[in-house]
Amino acid sequence: MEVWGALIGPLGFATKSLRRRGFHSYLAFLGLTLTVATTTFLLLLGQDLATRLGVDSSMRSTFGISWLIFAYLVLALGLIGIVGLLSTSYLVSSMISQHMRDIGVIKAAGALPRRLLSYVTFEALLVIASSCLVGALSALLAYASWSWPSISLFKQVGPIANAGATILIVVPMISFLLAYMVASVRVRRIVGSSSVNAISKQLANLDLKSLGKPLRIGRFGSAFNLATRNVSRDRGFNKTLLSMGVCICLSMIVLSGALVSADTSASYVVRAMPPHVLIVANINIYNQYVSLATSFSRIAPLPPIDYGNESYIISPQNASAFRAIPGVQTVDTRLITMSSITGYVRAHFASNQDTGENINTQIIPEVDTGSTNALIVGINATSAIGNWYTSDGFLQSSDAQYTMIAGDSLVGNIVQTPFNLSQVSALGYRYDVKSALVDPLNAGRVLYAPVETLQKSLGLNGFNVLLLKVNSDPTVLIAVSQLASSFGLVVGSQDPILNSNLTFLNDTWSHIFLVPILALALTCGILLSYVATNFSRRFNDYVVLKVLGANAWYRLRLLLWESWGVIAISMLIAIPVGWAVSIFFLVPDPSVSVGDLELSTIISASALTAVCLVSAAIYSRRLGFTTVKDLKP
Amino acid sequence: MGSQDEEIEVRAPGLAVDFLDVSKAYMVNGKPLKALSSITLNVKEREFAAIVGPSGAGKTTVLNIIAGLEKPSQGEARVLGLDVNASNEHSLSAFRSANIGFIFQSYNLVSTLTAEENVELMMELAGWSDSGRNEKLTAELISMVGLTDRAKHLPAQLSGGEQQRVAIARAIANDPPLILADEPTGNLDQKTGLEIVKLLARLKGEKGKTLVVTTHDDRIVEMADVIFPLENGSLGSIDRPARVRN
């Protein structure tokens, strides 16, 4: 009796049942483990990247571009988490559905529902718990080998303290709880349903409404026609299609989002510092300007300099002389200086409505938002070289003389939103902030004001930096150099500065691209599990086909059409949706390269097609070893 | 084992199934398990052979080898002239789809296909690409087994007897010379089983097929031209009923 008690207790039932299912139990365990491991690893990787980028770029980049990078990372990791949880839910649901017939048989044999519930739930719990545990350990090992020797599990990332350790515990735990909930609900539903329906698994799994004229394309052969009927008559087809579609869509958003975000951040830099631009200035100002322009991409101390030194000033007449050189398209005259600034939020009225009809209006006094040093650039709005990304437009000649545009690194601290209430005090004057822009200059700690206003503040009549937009004719450089030399000025190209900044950005993004690539790998792994699970449900039919005389090539084609057909339909819907979200909802004013969209599509389609090929090949090989004895009644 | 005359008979033409000292062993948990021990049997064309014996005697293994789903561990097995040992998986599949019809104890219809689609599938597997002709033949076969009004039903919507009748229609859809049936009435009640027995009789009588049937059903055994008793993988004394001998 004791032996029987041990054998038919929940653990005995579970282990015997899992052993009996063999290959199918292994598939379920592998699928869940892969999902938990990859999701956890990706989130650990993401927090590691965020930590390293935060450390590396805290003194570099601009706030706007850093925000874009971190926002992408957060979004990507969030979407990866959703894919992981969706997949866990689907896999557990499929695993339980495969037990439906057995549950029905045991229930029909007289097992008490409560006992049956505990036995089947315990079996699912064994698989789920072991998958989550092995998955978490695998993720930790993979992460440790990736980030060796500087493993960061206990650093703060954003609001999350000890981010790595938190992820390592929370993700598998959430996966476990979700899987357990799904399993419990599913088992209860099956136990509560009619035994006949549970035993007659065939009928329960088939969509009778889809009978009728099936899709037949003679040219594609018998295997295609059979596959369309198998897939379209599967009750779970719509659910599978939706799950796959969501997974593919989310990974497309992560992949194409990375490409769009990278291109967009690069475009912000190029717009602020266009190519084919020459810098003309006194040698000291020139060196200082280069340091300011490259502070986006490298940390170097900025020596103090007297920007207003008479010897550095270029007269308006001299500046105009450059306009006369053939090949010079635009002369952007600038006066730059470094100054201490103080930010304010102006006093204003604020009103709120209480629960009744009373409206309370109160005066909010002026608020000092702090002080810092910033680069102030006096610029002529009509001849500015640069097409900055701005929030509310660049300076116009119609703007008031005490109007400023703030660099993105000042926003959120010195300059507050809404901008119409924000003011900056600099050089003894108060300026209204009109807008913000993304500018690599001085890593975004820059303010643009009308040059006449700055000249008046500094008591200067001239400029200390000229930017010349030129064509690609090499003789232009010679002519400009000759003229500059005659004024005691030096000439340099802005191209190396731009390239240096873009190289820094590309380097940052190249680390981040690991996330979408691994996310795609996660999706492929999950789809492999989906496809294999669907194959397992029709295992008996495939064996029958083999016994009836379907050769290996026919069976392979059937499996390929069944797997690739569903994935192809999912891709047709999900990939364009992924593009649309990446282009229209991810980043402001995106820069979209058709080549990048094509690349992301080709990569995704190739990877997903490879999933079909691998799954069909593996299953076809498995079928090769089956005989009549493997048929289930 | 047979006499000298029967040994000559094994090698004579007109044999649908020709086993010579066929043995089959499996590895189970690392140990060899002998399913068949030196079986020598032959089934003439158009003959109805019944293989009888208790569960685990090796009946299904014999059918598997005849169908080319398994190869003997030892001995020679020829089916309609094809040497099973010497053939590869591809040629065995092609042979099976063109020459063998299989009827299972558990019907084993493709669950996602209707009755008529299950029958038509067999024609497609045999390489018959004329869909118009296939549809016409399918209708005839469905009518032959008395299921015209159930032709568009899925297996899950058919009773056991109806499914087995569809399985019989499927088994002859590709007009195979050899039909194998593994306990075709095993899951059916007496009355339904009788319908199946009658259909099998028609296959032999009207269609001139060679049948090899594993069975416990006395009604089928009574119809057989030759009875092969199997026990523990060994063949007992082959019985040819008096009506056949005469």
CB contact under 8 Å between A631 and B108, yes or no, is: yes
Mutate to test the interface with B, among A207, A229, A547 (most CBs of B within 10 A): A547
Q: Residue A227: CB partners within 8 Å, gap ≥ 6?
A: A558, A561, A562, A565
Cα–Cα distance for residue pair A594/A587, rounded to 1 Å: 16
Using DSSP, state whether A156 is helix, strand or coil. Answer: coil
Name every residue in B having a CB less than 8 A away from some CB of A.
60, 63-64, 67, 69-70, 89-90, 93-98, 100, 102, 104-106, 108-114, 117, 121-122, 124-126, 129, 131, 152, 154-157, 170, 174, 182, 187
Q: B9 pLDDT band (50/70/90 cuts)?
A: very low
Look at residues B132, B126, B135, B195 and name the one whose alpha carbon lies nearest to residue B160: B195
pLDDT classification of A214: cutoffs 50, 70, 90: low
Between A17 and B54, residue with greater pLDDT: B54
Å between A227 CA and nearest CA of chain B:
10
Q: Which residue of B has its CA nearest to A199?
A: B156
Which chain B residues contact residue A546 at CB under 8 A?
Answer: 69, 93
CB atoms within 10 A of CB A627: 16
Contacts of A557 in chain B (CB under 8 A): none
CA B217 – CA A80 distance, rounded (Å): 60
Query: Which band of pLDDT confidence, cut at 50, 70 and 90, is reported for residue A197?
Result: low
For residue A545, give the nearest of B110, B152, B187 by CB distance.
Answer: B110
Residue of chain A nearest B181, judged by CA positions = A628
Contacts of A628 in chain B (CB under 8 A): 60, 63-64, 67, 69, 104, 182
Q: Distance between CA atoms of A574 and A193, rounded to whole angstroms?
A: 35
Cβ count within 10 A of residue A237: 17
Phi-psi group of A219: left, alpha or beta (phi > 0 → left; psi -120 to 50 → alpha; rest → beta)? alpha
Which amino acid is present at A37?
A: A
pLDDT at B245: 54
Distance CA(A60)–CA(B199), nearest Å, equals 86
- CA-nearest residue to A197 within chain B is B156
Return the pLDDT at A450: 95
Residue B7 pLDDT exceeds 70: no
Q: How is residue B168 written in tokens?
A: 């019989």
Q: Closest Cα partner for A587 from A269, A258, A297, A274? A: A258
Which strand ranges, in their side-by-side order, compose the sheet holding B31-44? B31-44, B15-28, B74-79, B82-83
User: Nearest chain A Cα to B114, which residue?
Assistant: A211
C-beta atoms of A631 and B124 within 8 A: no
Q: What integer pLDDT is reported at residue A271 of this predicted model?
A: 95
The whole-angstrom separation of Cα A375 and Cα A304 is 12
Both tokens of B27, joined, read: 């590895």
Cross-chain residue pair B117–A544, CB shorter than 8 Å: no
Q: Which whole-number Å values give the CA distances from A516 to A195, A543, A576, in the listed order?
A: 45, 39, 17
Taking the CA of residue A359 as centre, how many other CA atoms within 13 Å lie in the half-sphere pointing to its CB?
A: 4
Q: What is the Cα–Cα distance from A341 to A376, expressed in whole angstroms?
A: 9
More confident: A152 or A343: A343
pLDDT of residue A319: 93
Residue A58: per-residue pLDDT: 58
Which tokens in the block code for residue A195? 């035994």
> Which of A202, A544, A551 faces B94 most closely, judged by CB atoms?
A551
Question: Which of A193-197, A227-231, A575-579, B204-208 holds the top average pLDDT?
Answer: A575-579
How high is the pLDDT of residue A406? 95
- Contacts with B117 from chain A: Cβ below 8 Å: 229
Nearest to A599 by CA among A244, A255, A264, A266: A255
| Residue from the list B93, B121, B157 with its beta carbon closest to the beta carbon of A226 | B121
Q: Do B37 and B234 form a contact (C-beta atoms < 8 A)?
A: yes
pLDDT of B1 reads: 36
Ranges A29-33, A55-59, A363-367, B139-143, most confident: B139-143
Q: How many CB atoms lie within 10 A of CB A561?
A: 23
Length of chain B: 246
Q: Cα–Cα distance between A180 and A177 in angstroms, integer? A: 5
Rg of the Cα trace of chain A? 33
Which pair of structure tokens corresponds to residue B195? 């319908």
User: Looking at A307-461, which runs of residues are DSSP E strands?
Assistant: 328-345, 348-353, 359-364, 367-379, 403-407, 422-426, 429-437, 446-450
pLDDT band of residue A24 (cuts 50, 70, 90) is low
pLDDT tens readout for residues B20-45? 999 999 887 788 888 899 999 999 99
- Cβ–Cβ of A554/B64 closer than 8 Å? no
Q: Which residues of B touch A216 (CB under 8 A)?
A: 131
Q: Are A447 and A422 in contact (CB under 8 A)?
A: no
pLDDT confidence bin for B12, thresholds 50/70/90: very low
At A109, is the secondary structure helix, strand, or coil?
coil
Task: Decide: A610 and A528 in contact? Cβ < 8 Å.
Answer: no
CB A343 within 8 A of CB A369: yes
Residue A252 CB partners (closer than 8 Å, separation 6+): A574, A575, A577, A578, A579, A582, A600, A604
Would the CB atoms of B64 and A211 count as touching at under 8 Å?
no
Query: In the predicted model, is pLDDT for residue A466 greater than 90?
Result: yes
Lowest mean pLDDT among A230-244, A322-336, B53-67, B159-173: A230-244
**A229–B125 CB contact, under 8 Å:** no
Residue A189's pLDDT is what?
Answer: 78
> Residue A566's pLDDT band (boundaries 50, 70, 90)?
confident
What is the least distance, in Å, from the CA of A202 to any CA of chain B? 6
Mean pLDDT computed over every residue of chain A? 84
Return the residue of A nearest to B124 by Cα. Answer: A222
Question: Hey, are the CB atoms on A544 and B89 less than 8 Å from each other?
Answer: no
Residue A123 pLDDT exceeds 70: yes
Provide the H-helix boundaries in B100-239.
115-125, 131-144, 160-171, 190-205, 218-223
- pLDDT for the residue numbered A476: 92
Cβ distance B125 to A545 less than 8 Å, yes or no, reads yes
Range of weakest confidence among A196-205, A292-301, B111-120: A196-205
- How far is the C-alpha of B91 from the C-alpha of B85, rounded, in Å? 11
Q: Give chain A positions within 8 Å (CB) of B97.
A: 548-551
* pLDDT more than 90, % of chain B: 36
Residues of chain B positioned with their CB less than 8 A from the CB of A233: 112, 154
∠ CA A57-A62-A66, nearest 5°, is 60
The closest CB to that of B90, out of A218, A548, A551, belongs to A551
Any idea which residue has 């495939």 for tokens? A542
Across the interface, whether the CB atoms of B156 and A540 are under 8 A apart is answered no
- Chain B residues whose CB is inside 8 A of the A234 CB are 112
CB atoms A547 and B67 under 8 Å? yes
How many cross-chain Cβ pairs, A to B, lie less than 8 Å apart?
109
Looking from the CA of B58 toward its CB, the CA atoms found within 13 Å total 26
Find chain A residues with C-beta within 8 A of B133's C-beta: none
Q: What is the pLDDT of residues B185-238, one digit of tens each?
A: 888 888 888 888 888 888 888 878 899 999 888 888 888 899 999 988 888 888
Would you say residue A6 has pLDDT above 70?
A: no
For A444-456, what is each residue's pLDDT tens digit?
999 999 999 999 9
Residue type (1 letter), A584: F
**What is the pTM (predicted TM-score) of this model?**
0.78
Q: Which residues contact B125 (CB under 8 A, 6 or more apart)?
A: A222, A545, A548, A549, A550, A554, B97, B174
B173 touches B137 (CB < 8 A): yes
pLDDT tens profile A223-276: 888 888 888 887 777 777 788 888 889 888 999 899 999 999 999 999 999 999
- Structure confidence at residue A265 (pLDDT): 92
Q: Which of A206, A216, A631 sits opposite B112 (nearest CB)?
A: A206
pLDDT at A210: 47
- Residues of A with a Cβ under 8 Å from any B Cβ are 200, 202-203, 205-206, 208, 211, 216, 218, 222, 225-226, 229-230, 233-234, 538, 540-541, 544-554, 624, 627-629, 631-633
Which chain A residues are Cβ-neighbours of B124 within 8 angstroms? 222, 225-226
Report whether the peptide linkage leading into residue A149 is cis, meaning its omega lies within 30 degrees of zero.
Answer: yes
Is the confidence at residue A16, as pLDDT, over 60?
yes
Smallest CA–CA distance, residue A547 to chain B, in Å, is 7
Tell me if the bond preceding A418 is cis, omega within 30° of 0.
Answer: yes
Cα separation, A291 vs A340, in Å, equals 19
Confidence (pLDDT) at A9? 66
What is residue A388's DSSP assignment? -
Amino acid at B175: D
Condensed to tens digits (0 to 9), the pLDDT of residues B68-89 reads 888 999 999 999 999 999 998 8
- Short-list A261, A217, A210, CA closest to A68: A261
Given phi > 0 = left and psi -120 to 50 = alpha, else beta, which region is B233? left
Beta bridge partners of A446: A375
Task: Give the closest-approach CA distance of A583 to chain B in angstroms.
Answer: 42
pLDDT at A422 > cutoff 50: yes
